[in-house]
Structure 1
């Protein structure tokens, strides 16, 4: 079965990763960033080797996002990010093809252990099965 494994973050986290501490997170150093990328790269390599990796991507900061909704007049309302009312947004994801929910949970547990500076916020890793047919809705 395929699963979407999501990691979350905020605009403040992205700012901290550029070396700018804030009330939300300490500043990340170049060594912190390198350790994170090496750790995530090792996960990707292992998943590719096992045949479970379908896709994996990190996303740009929320400030580069665009939100499109439908207005009452039927026209699109377009807002550029970041969005103050949104606490956490998708920061990156994996699409995995795993034999079981237990296996994808093991992978998510490994993701939660990614190195980061002391005091940086910790977010849950979210797992969602990917709907494969109309019968999977409920």
Structure 2
């Protein structure tokens, strides 16, 4: 069964990784950044070895977001950047092919242990089953 495993973040989190601290998002040091990258690479390597890794990507910061909706006249309405009331957004994901929900939950629990600076806001790692072609889970 395939699952989408998602991690969340905010613009403040991306700014913190550039050294710009704010409440709940302390500035990251180079050592902390390297520890995070090393941890994620280890997760990806292990998932590739087990054959469970299908795809995975980190996403650009929310400031680069573009929203496209349908306007009243049917023409697209395009808004750059996230809406002001948006809190967390998708920061990265994995598509995994796992034997069970329990197995993908083990992987998510490992991902949740990614090292971050003390005081960083913790977000849940979200698991969503991917529907097969017939709409079944």
Post-superposition Cα deviations, 1:47-87, rounded to whole Å, max 9, x if no partner, equal 00000000010001000110100111101000011321111
Give SS of 2:104's match.
helix
Single out whichever of 13-22 and 78-87 deviates more from structure 2.
78-87
Which residues in structure 2 correspond to 1:68-83 (within 5 Å)?
A: 68-83=68-83
- TM-score, normalization: structure 2? 0.97
Distance 1:40 1:122, change over 3 A: same
Corresponding residue number in structure 2 for 1:21: 21
Which aligned segments of 4 or more residues in structure 1 are displaced greater than 2 angstroms? none
Corresponding residue number in structure 2 for 1:44: 44
Q: What is the alpha-carbon distance in structure 1 between the residues aligned to residue 72 and residue 27 of structure 2?
A: 42
Tell me if the contact between 1:11 and 1:82 (Cα under 8 Å) persists in the aligned partners: no
Query: How far did residue 24 of structure 1 move?
Result: 2.9
- TM-score, normalization: structure 1? 0.96
Give SS of 1:136's match.
coil
Gap regions ≥5 residues in structure 2: none
Corresponding residue number in structure 2 for 1:118: 118
Give SS of 2:85's match.
coil
Q: What is the alpha-carbon distance in structure 1 between the residues aligned to residue 135 and residue 94 of structure 2?
A: 23
State the number of aligned residues.
137
